[in-house]
Structure 1
């Protein structure tokens, strides 16, 4: 028996044993614990995946946080702000460049695996990656043309970093698509070890080398180091991914259905774009209105607040394809119980994390350098938003994985427009504080709208802290 088999057996046994104990407890304790452990196999699968992702995220967070703090100290707030602003744009465009295929893979592959449509899987994997490569390269070229046209109208210190970043764009898009492929098969460790551990470690290594030889790194150096990190990451992940797929999926003649795949993926593209706009509007608008130093302080606070999302992110990583699987073979009651269990697993650790972060937040921000402590209020506001997400779960993905992607898309698009309007209104008046307030207000409105849609369309009550529980 392998170590993985032992881990899976132990997790399943623990969940089932706890379920038996729950059945012997008096209500309401026994009832609540039983509700958490219904569908033990599904929850055990999520817990295994969440544990793997959590371990990677914790290790990656340490590396990422140290790398960002050192980058801020080595580069200074001004250059660090330029890097943060430009890289935010690349994340936004690079996630949209795959045309939604990076997300729809998590719907199609579990479905085809369940129905043993091996030819469809091979056709999807081959065609999806070729489409992503072509689309992201085209986006990079178009971005270069736009940069050449508008460069007289933007600040000079942004021009060259943007030009370098556009070269990284196809690499980021391919890496994001490979991540989606690994997640679709349930290989969360493979999916996340590259972007959340290896890539920041390589970035830190590259910039640290420049410092050791006596050079003063700037935003351009950081982006070049990121390009190298992406190249290495893609190569390593692709080798392992191809070998794992060949060992899992029986060989079959590839069957392509590009038109259908893109038709389903396009609403997800809009959804992903609007979702990213929700999470990126604050930094993008700050970069247009405020100086790079202010962007650096906000970015450091936002990244620190994102630590609260660890448990939520870890459970969501395995939850998303599980939604599609349960929807294909289970009932609405199964989905309700599964969502409730996942929300319980993610909320309470996140709640405790917020309390800890509120106590030591100023000390953490001080690691980025002088003046970064000014972002404490921003940190407090944004961390509350991450905790709020854990009270309802990944509802946008629940809608998408159950064939209601258009509803999720409409909600997230409306929320993104609302968020942009709030940022445009509040940033000129309140600066970085206005960006934080706009972001959390829009997030809460978005969560409420998604919860209402899930209740109306699926008959599922998404709120963990609802009355009567």
Structure 2
């Protein structure tokens, strides 16, 4: 019976959607496990170090995340786009050439940033955030900037060669398992410095795993490395760097500015609510891992109709999966937040607002990747620059007036505007309507 239903289901899909569904299924399972371990880590963190300790940790995490993103230099989507395109044509020498040049760029940039962050940690802690206890966790986590940047790029390259399971293990599952296990073993003896050490050690272990998976993925192809053009890589990754930076501004400027103008407890509650709300869109992350290289390959082959079908059907699937999670967060917000401890139970309204913003992200579909994988990264860059600037303005206005609530409103509104803008650009430029209702265009 089950086998018959499965056959009927797949018979109603074209070959591209079959690949998306199968790949997304693998990714979804890994993401569910990853989200579970990440959630457990956040619960352990909150219960062990409290709201104020969590605030210090999330401030350090935010700074290091931004630093690692700069260290990747916008190369993640360049890797994904070029590796997928060359792999589709069996040009393995070019695949290796892109990987080699990109990793060299990232090693140089991320090492410089890591050193600067380590040196400047006391100034940031005491003079910018006025929280002296931030210094040591920030220095410890600054050491993780290089492995964070590199293992993320390796994961994107693995997606390009259709090693989806390995990519998701590197990008999603191994890190939360390691950090959660480390925090559980230390348990009540953990301070914020111990958590920071666990984070950094985990990042280096994941990097080693990433190199192992990549070598295994390309070991069967004996083509020599093609001397890939520096100019071609930099022309692609530079606008993508701005996209990543401004996306981070929207995602993390709230917590940084709240760290300046708010209390450690406010930062902790907002940080937990923000990361919990991201569970609404983990199906989007799962599907993006499959459809992004598929977008690049189909566009390279000139199959715009196939591209449109995958974009539209994948959005419907993601919206269906995300809706129940949104409903739980909207109906039982205080209960969900109380899981992290009594000091977090008042953050229910933050969870509702942030979850709605994340749901808009899901319901508009993989519009950012559609633009980037079809060579329209500059349109996405411009969209992100405008909305990122709006995000900063909203945070500057609302946080001094409303505290953590202001940060929540600014973050959610900016996220929704960014994705609606990308949806409009996708429709106008490519003629693809991704919303799961009111279909028009391709």
1:109 to 83, 86, 94: 83
Q: 1:99 to 1:14 in 2, by over 3 A?
A: farther
Task: Tell me which residue corresponds to 2:197.
Answer: 224
Counterpart in 2 of 1:31?
Answer: none
Given that residues 125 and 133 in structure 2 are in contact (C-alpha distance below 8 angstroms), is that contact kept between their aligned partners in structure 1? no
Query: Alpha carbons of 1:363 and 1:152: their partners in 2 closer, same or farther (altered >3 Å)?
Result: closer
- 1:15 is displaced (CA, Å) by 4.4
Q: Which residue of 2 aligns with 1:43?
A: 17
Measured in 2, the distance between the counterparts of 1:293 and 1:323 equals 43
Q: Which runs of 5+ in 1 are unaligned?
A: 1-8, 20-36
Contact 1:354 1:383 in 2 (8 A): yes
1:315-326 aligned within 5 A: 315-326=287-298
Give the 3 Å change call, closer, same or farther, for CA 144–15 of structure 1 in structure 2. same
Give the match for residue 170 of structure 2. Answer: 194
Residue 96 (structure 1) shift? 2.0
> Following the alignment from structure 2 to structure 1, what is the Cα–Cα distance between the partners of residues 380 and 279?
26
CA deviation after TM superposition for structure 1 residue 243, in Å:
1.0
CA distance in 2, matches of 1:51, 1:134: 36
1:330 has 2:306 as partner? no
Distance 1:15 1:432, change over 3 A: same
The 8 Å contact of residues 283 and 299 in structure 1, kept in 2 or not, is answered as yes
Superposed CA deviations along residues 395-426 of structure 1, whole A, max 9, x for unmatched, are 11111110110010000111111011111111
Q: Aligned runs of 1:108-257 on 2, under 5 Å? A: 108-147=82-121, 152-153=126-127, 154-211=130-187, 215=189, 217-247=190-220, 249-257=221-229
Q: Residue 463 of structure 1: CA displacement?
A: 2.2
Deviations 1:300-334 (A, max 9, x none): 11111111112222111111111111111133322
Please state how far the C-alpha of 1:10 moved relative to its aligned partner: 9.9
Pairing of 1:267-282 with structure 2 (within 5 A) = 267-282=239-254
Report the equivalent of 1:450: 422
Equivalent of residue 67 in structure 1, options 36, 41, 55: 41
Go from structure 1 to structure 2 and tell me whether the alpha carbon gap of 1:373 and 1:329 turns closer, same or farther (over 3 Å shift): same
1:428 to 400, 407, 424: 400
TM-score (norm 1): 0.88
Taking the aligned partners of 2:370 and 2:72, their CA distance within structure 1 comes to: 21
1:464, CA displacement in angstroms?
2.0
Match 2:74 to one of 100, 107, 113: 100
More moved, 369-378 vs 325-334:
325-334
| Distance (whole Å) between structure 2 residues aligned to residue 326 and residue 315 of structure 1 | 16
In the alignment, what sits opposite 1:32?
A: none
CA shift, 1:13, in A, is 4.7
Does structure 1 retain, via aligned residues, the 8 Å contact 2:50–2:343? no
Distance across 1 between alignment mates of 2:335 and 2:26: 29
Cα displacement string for residues 161-210 of structure 1 (whole angstroms, at most 9, x for unaligned residues): 22112111111111111111112222222112234322122212222222
1:148 and 1:438 map into 2 onto residues whose CA distance is: 29
Q: Structure 2: give runs of 5+ residues left out of the alignment.
A: none
With over 3 angstroms needed to count, the CA separation of the structure-2 counterparts of 1:404 and 1:236, relative to structure 1, is: same
Hey, which bits of structure 1, 4+ residues long, moved more than 6 A?
A: 9-12
TM superposition score normalised by structure 2: 0.94
Q: Which has the larger radius of gyration?
A: 1
Q: 8 Å contact 1:11–1:44 — kept in the other structure? A: no
Q: Which residue of 2 aligns with 1:345?
A: 317
For these two proteins, the number of residue pairs brought into alignment is 437
1:15/1:44 contact within 8 Å kept:
no
1:11 positional shift? 11
Q: CA contact under 8 A between 2:391 and 2:411: conserved in structure 1? A: yes
Q: Is the 8 A contact 2:118 2:143 kept in 1?
A: no
- Per the alignment, in what secondary structure is the counterpart of residue 465 of structure 1? coil
Where does 1:357-436 land on structure 2 (aligned, <5 Å)? 357-436=329-408
Bigger mean CA offset, 275-284 vs 152-161: 152-161
Please give the alpha-carbon distance, in whole angstroms, between the structure 1 residues aligned to 2:99 and 2:296: 18
Query: Aligned with 1:390: secondary structure?
Result: helix
Q: 1:169 to 1:253 in 2, by over 3 A?
A: closer
